[in-house]
Structure 1
Amino acid sequence: MAYIEEKVNCVLWLAELKSTTAVRRKFASHYKREAPHRNLINNWMKKFKETGSILDKPRSGRRRASEETVAEIERAFEQNPQKSVRRVSAELNIPKTTVHRILSIKLHKYAYKVTTIQMLQEEDYYARLDFCQLIKSKIENSGTLDKLTFSDTATFHINGIVNRHNCRIWGTEKPQEVRQHETDSPKLSVWCAIRKSCIIGPFFFEESTVSGESYLAMLQNFFIPELQRLHLLNNTVFQHDGPPCYYSLPVQQFLDDTFSDQWIGRGGPLDWPPQSPDLSPLDFYLWGYVKTVVYASKPSSLDDLKARITNAILSVTEQQLMKVFTKFENRLEQCIAQDGGYIEF
């Protein structure tokens, strides 16, 4: 949209230069953005010749927002950037469309989604940096990327974990914000493993809270048989990260017996660095993708939720997995470049 000054200059330049092409060049050079179409410039000149002004005639439609209205809306969001447009509209008795338009056009504010991140302690930076350097070396020297098998458990609620679509913070710059959310809706605990060539799972735990015993039983009765069926058991570097029950002595003993020194996790041959979901393909890709598909509409039951999760995971292609593991390599590089710093999802 052209401003009044820009229209006036276009008319003056056209009177001087006699060419819309020359006017458009001068406009782009002067304002450092794309020039208006030549038809618009000709229309402004025509209007000026006919009426003596480039301004539109007063309209009977929507009135322009006053400076006082703009200031009221700005104060409302300065006091609480997390307020919704609907709430400010009700408080100030201003239409929602007007509030949204002023935020975007007049105040140049944007609605940022809330992202949950892990807080890193000083020692975490060193652990992350050492891990990334070691894995990068293994990938380059021994083809570890094709063997890496990341695993994780996620919880899916009938009504969703966090309604991120309705969670916004208004501001001119991206804020650093942490928000916690809990829900007591019916839920499923889902385990999955991902590697460059395939996904193993999903596996649904019968109980809502996974114990060390149920986790070990899943490894013994589901995961290992699947690796054997796919002829991958001897070509796997297993990674897991989760609650303390995953690191019980029976679980660690089983992993030692099964994978020897080829597994990553707390108490294992190679520790998984703390507070590092940004390095796990399940966290930075799979769970987000699955939840987007699953919660496109509200599941009607736990059986419906289970079917949606299964179908979403089955829809992931091998090409997508290859891109995900390329992104994993990129994240290793970024983490090293940031001395172990956190990488945004």
Structure 2
Amino acid sequence: MAEFTSHEQADIIFMYGRADGNASLARRLYQERYPNRRVPNVRVFSNTYRRLSESGIHHAEHAVNPGRHNVNVEEQILAAFEADPTTSIRVVARDLNLSIWKVWSTMHNEKKYPFHGTGVQGLEETDPARRIRFCRFLLNADIDDAWFLKSILWTDESKFSREGITNFHNLHEWADKDSNPNWKKQISFQRQFLINVWAGVIGRTLVGSHILPDNLNGQNYLEFMINDLPMLLYDAEVPILDTDRPITFQQDGCPAHLAVSVREHLNRCFPGNWIGRDGPIPWPARSPDLTPLDFSVWIRVKELVYTTEITTREELLQRIEAAFEIMKQEMQMKVTTTEVRNRCKKCIRNDEGHFEHQQ
């Protein structure tokens, strides 16, 4: 950006103030007032105001700008980020008594960019070996039987609340640079409600949704398995039901799933052919990244449910039902085949078992 004299910058700030912070209007006012001058780019108005607000220093040729083109200062900035790559521009600026603009521009010129981390499930000491063992079993079974992955009924429960899951890093509203909408999202409501939703997926067929009791235990989960699950599979028109091929039932290690009566029922309905904790095919604990419900279905459903704020339990139920209808149309076979294979391979390649940060 071309430099402007102190007098020109004072006029730029004056016009920016007259325009009440509207940079486009400020540029027009400046052009009308000073027709014989070069007209600054619209960004100059807001940038000049920001620099002056943050550091009290302008960019005129004769201005004294401590830290500008100062190799020692730039080395201090880079050293601060090298010592702690997770620190922030604001913290470094405060510690080195510099403007935020100076720190940001130094990092930008050095082609340094902030990368956000990925939250992963905490693992116990014995978890990685069990996860890798399970992944190898799936991959080998898939090689031996091309229909194996397509015949797994993956199941899971997820709770939906009034607040939903809020990731403020991804919350934003696009607007003109000089027109901050200052929008807000309400959280921490005094009047709360919670809905426990069960769903399953087999091949490209989404089964459910079905509302379970808020406090799931072995008894009411068994009642669901006996009374509701067969009808849900029938209503979903699961293609495999019209063949002689058995379904492989999968569930995670939720306490309700571990009830003796539940496991006895699974042994009767899916003899030697169900995946779960203490099942004939052991499910590795703390492995939501391996089930399509967690890495695909719930993410998309909640994205649809929480597009806008929810005020009543009835509205939340309607949103969940509508989201599942959309998801049933969007569901693709590759989620339960290609994506499962890829995740199993990545889990094996990473000795720790974590791989979602590389997705």
TM-score tier by shorter-chain length is 0.5 to 0.7
Counterparts in 2 of 1:107 and 1:308: CA distance versus 1, 3 Å: farther
- TM-score, normalised with respect to structure 1: 0.65
Partner of residue 125 from structure 1, selected from 111, 123, 128: 128
User: 5 Å matches for 1:94-109?
Assistant: 102=105, 105=108
Structure 2 stretches lacking a partner, 5+ long: 2-37, 56-64, 173-187
Structure 1 position 101, deviation (Å): 6.6
Cα contact 1:129–1:340 (8 A) shared by 2: no
Cα contact 1:238–1:263 (8 A) shared by 2: yes
Partner of residue 316 from structure 1, selected from 321, 327, 336: 327
Aligned to 2:221: 215
User: 5 Å matches for 1:16-31?
Assistant: none
Alpha-carbon distance in 2 for matches of 1:334, 1:245 = 30
Aligned to 1:302: 313
**Of 98-107 and 273-282, the range deviating more from structure 2:** 98-107
Alpha-carbon distance in 1 for matches of 2:316, 2:77 = 41
Does structure 1 residue 249 correspond to structure 2 residue 256? no
Q: Name the SS of the counterpart of 2:282 in structure 1.
A: coil
Cα contact 1:151–1:239 (8 A) shared by 2: yes
Structure 1 position 212, deviation (Å): 1.5
Cα contact 1:113–1:167 (8 A) shared by 2: no
Cα contact 2:253–2:277 (8 A) shared by 1: no
Alpha-carbon distance in 2 for matches of 1:100, 1:250 = 62
Structure 1 position 342, deviation (Å): 1.5
Structure 1 position 202, deviation (Å): 0.8
Counterparts in 2 of 1:141 and 1:340: CA distance versus 1, 3 Å: farther
Counterparts in 2 of 1:83 and 1:310: CA distance versus 1, 3 Å: farther
Counterparts in 2 of 1:187 and 1:111: CA distance versus 1, 3 Å: farther
Counterparts in 2 of 1:121 and 1:191: CA distance versus 1, 3 Å: same
Deviations 1:176-214 (A, max 9, x none): xxxxxx998422111110121301111112x32212222
Output the amino acid matched with 2:211: F
Aligned to 2:23: none
Q: Name the SS of the counterpart of 1:238 in structure 2.
A: strand
Aligned to 1:187: 194
Structure 1 stretches lacking a partner, 5+ long: 2-55, 169-181
Cα contact 2:162–2:311 (8 A) shared by 1: yes
Deviations 1:51-110 (A, max 9, x none): xxxxx998873336766599899989x99958798xx99xx9x89xx6997597457665
Aligned to 2:159: 155
Cα contact 2:89–2:103 (8 A) shared by 1: no
Cα contact 1:113–1:165 (8 A) shared by 2: no
Alpha-carbon distance in 2 for matches of 1:301, 1:192 = 22
Aligned to 1:261: 272
Aligned to 1:199: 206
Alpha-carbon distance in 1 for matches of 2:148, 2:40 = 70
Q: Name the SS of the counterpart of 1:201 in structure 2.
A: strand
Alpha-carbon distance in 2 for matches of 1:110, 1:241 = 38
Counterparts in 2 of 1:79 and 1:138: CA distance versus 1, 3 Å: closer
Structure 1 position 256, deviation (Å): 0.7
Structure 1 position 317, deviation (Å): 4.8
Aligned to 1:146: 150
Cα contact 1:154–1:191 (8 A) shared by 2: yes
Alpha-carbon distance in 2 for matches of 1:213, 1:247 = 11
User: 5 Å matches for 1:16-165?
Assistant: 61=45, 62-63=47-48, 102=105, 105=108, 110=113, 112-113=115-116, 115-142=118-145, 143-165=147-169
Counterparts in 2 of 1:68 and 1:136: CA distance versus 1, 3 Å: same
Alpha-carbon distance in 2 for matches of 1:343, 1:245 = 28
Aligned to 1:328: 340
**Of 308-317 and 272-281, the range deviating more from structure 2:** 308-317
Percent same amino acid among aligned pairs? Answer: 28
Cα contact 1:265–1:272 (8 A) shared by 2: yes
Structure 1 position 323, deviation (Å): 2.5
Q: Name the SS of the counterpart of 1:315 in structure 2.
A: helix
Q: Name the SS of the counterpart of 1:188 in structure 2.
A: strand
Q: Name the SS of the counterpart of 2:327 in structure 1.
A: coil
